Every structure is written in structure tokens, then in C-alpha cells.
Amino acid sequence: MIANYGYKDGSGDYYISIDTDRCIDCAAGRACLTACPKEMFEIITDDYDDEVACIKQANRRSLAYDCADCKPSGGYASLPCTTACTPGALKHSW
């Protein structure tokens, strides 16, 4: 399943997509949990009884701001979360 967490507002689309099929049995040891400086990821058991990562509820409405520090303007060449996610399950829409 592709789970898109986030929103669209007047300034653009701000979604983090998690491919849960790649996230199950994570080969990266759930590195996203520690890679994100804002600790926005958590592991849940989804409706199909799979343990997968998701974005915490509190961050889903503020991704544009929460992720801003990790974008190139914040001095990062690549996003810490997508870099840490070696199975390639994570994507940012912006």
C-alpha cells in the first residue's frame, strides 16, 4: 500500500509517501525513526496487521514547516529520512 500522509494547501502539495510493502520487514532497521531530527516517524500495526512506519498525527498538518530544515535551504544535500530508508519506501512530494 502507498500511504500518503500530508496535505495540499495554497502553497503546494506536502505529502510524504510510504510504500508499506517495502517498509514491512524493514532492511534498514527502522532507521527512519532516528534519522528524522523531528522524530516524526512512528511504527504502527496497520489494518492488515503489518508493522509499518507512519507519520505521527501531530506532524501530518505541518509537514511544510516540520521538514523545512532538512531541505536544501536547511543545508542538507539529501533528506535524512529518504537517505536512511535504504529499501526506498519513503518519498517526499515536494
Partner 1 sequence: MITAGIDMGSRSVKVVLLEQINVDSAPQLQYAVKKAHLMMPGELDADQAAERAFSEALAAAGVARDDVKSVFATGAGRKQVAFATEGVTEMTAGAKGAVYMYPNARTVVDVGAEEGRGIKTDAEGKAVDFAGNEKCAAGAGSFAEAMSRALQLTLAEFGEASLKSDRTIPMNAQCTVFAESEVVSLIHSSTPKEDIAKAVLDAVASRVCAMVRRVGIEGEVVLIGGMAHNPGFVKSLKGAMGVDAVSLPDLPEFVSALGCALIAAERQH
Nearest to partner 1 of 61, 92 (CB atom): 61
Q: Measure the CA dihedral 77/82/83/84, to 10°.
A: 140
* Sites for partner 1 among residues 1-30 (CB under 8 A): 1-10, 13, 15
Q: How far is the CB of 4 from partner 1 (least distance, A)?
A: 4
* Bridge partner residues of 16 (DSSP): 5, 92
For partner 1, which stretch binds (CB under 8 A), given 28-36, 41-49, 67-75, 82-90?
A: 41-49
Site string for partner 1, 44-73 (x = CB under 8 A): --xxx-----------xx------------
For 64, left (φ over 0), alpha (ψ -120 to 50), or beta?
alpha
Are the C-beta atoms of residues 44 and 54 closer than 8 Å to each other?
yes
